[in-house]
Amino acid sequence: MGVISRLTSYFLLPISNLYNPKSPYLCDQTERRKLEEIKALVQKEIRLEWRQRYALNGMLLYVVSTVIICYLSFNLQRNQLNKATWNALFWIILLFTSVSAIAKSFVQERPGRLLYYYTLASPQGIILAKILYNAGLMLILSGLGFGFYALVMGNPVEDGLLFVGNVLLGAVGFSSTLTMIAGIAAKAQNNGTLMAVLSFPVVLPMLLMLIKISKNALDGLDRSASQDEVVTLLAINAIVLALSYILFPYLWRS
């Protein structure tokens, strides 16, 4: 109730004080309200997750079980898996973990609750809050997943800093891309199939870049060899964030 009351209080301020064109603090007040709104929405997502514990517990179980199945299937001893296979298995696990964790972003919201949010918060604040929350969730899952994967399957990474930075870029990229797609898919009845179809052509170029950077980190190549791919990933993330901020209000009104 505290989060909802804070969201409600943002809209109880006098309209004349907020939109007075002669006020020198108009821009500062507007930006401050947006930041407070996003903060309250992120806190709401965290509290809901803490109550349900669906994504974190379910995805941790998924990662652990998948890694163990890979270990048993390949009948491995440590450090006996070639680097290309190790890299491919890691990103397959991380990709499906991202899809499973982020797919619930809008599906878990009831229509009545969405209508209530429509009267309280701006669509830009809602999409940015969900992206931030999913990015944080994916950073936790990616870090824990990489640690357990390296522990069980061995760690052939030679440039650890580059690999960890690439994993962070992938987590943020997956969260921003899949969150917007989850919002689109939530408008359809068969949202699981639609999300899989829509996400494939968007995530595939990002996944190719991530795999190439990871391969360079595994081989210990100079970091300048991955510079173009890193810049491309940053550009893709920025474009997705900008498009989500611009286009989500039209989706929200429908």
| CB-based contacts of 46, cutoff 8 Å, min separation 6 | 133
CA-to-CA distance for 184 and 195, rounded, in angstroms? 8
Is 25 domain-assigned? Answer: no
Report the C-alpha gap between 163 and 39 in whole angstroms.
30
Nearest CA-CA partner of 58 in 89, 96, 88: 96
Number of domains in the chain: 1
* Helix, coil or strand: residue 131: helix
Structural domain contains residue 13: no
Q: How far is CA 202 from CA 180, 208, 214, in A?
A: 11, 11, 19
Domain assignment present for 63: yes
Q: Examine residue 244 and state whether it is found in any structural domain, yes or no.
A: yes
pLDDT in 10s for each residue of the chain, 254 residues:
555 555 444 444 443 444 444 454 445 666 777 788 888 888 888 887 777 766 677 778 888 888 888 888 776 555 567 888 888 889 988 888 888 888 777 766 666 666 677 777 788 888 888 888 888 888 888 888 898 988 888 888 888 899 999 999 998 889 888 888 888 877 776 566 777 777 888 888 889 899 999 999 988 888 888 888 889 889 988 988 888 888 888 877 76
Tokens of 226: 């991955």
| CA–CA distance, 62 with 92 (Å, rounded to integer) | 12
In a domain, 12, yes or no: no
Is residue 8, in this structure, part of any structural domain at all? no
Q: Which residue has the tokens 């100079």?
A: 222
Q: Which domain holds residue 204?
A: 53-253
How far is the CA of 15 from the CAs of 6, 18, 32, 125, 163, in angstroms? 17, 5, 16, 19, 50
Question: Does residue 17 fall inside a structural domain?
Answer: no
Question: Is 40 inside a domain boundary?
Answer: no
Query: In angstroms, what CA-CA distances link 7 with 113, 172, 189?
Result: 13, 26, 29
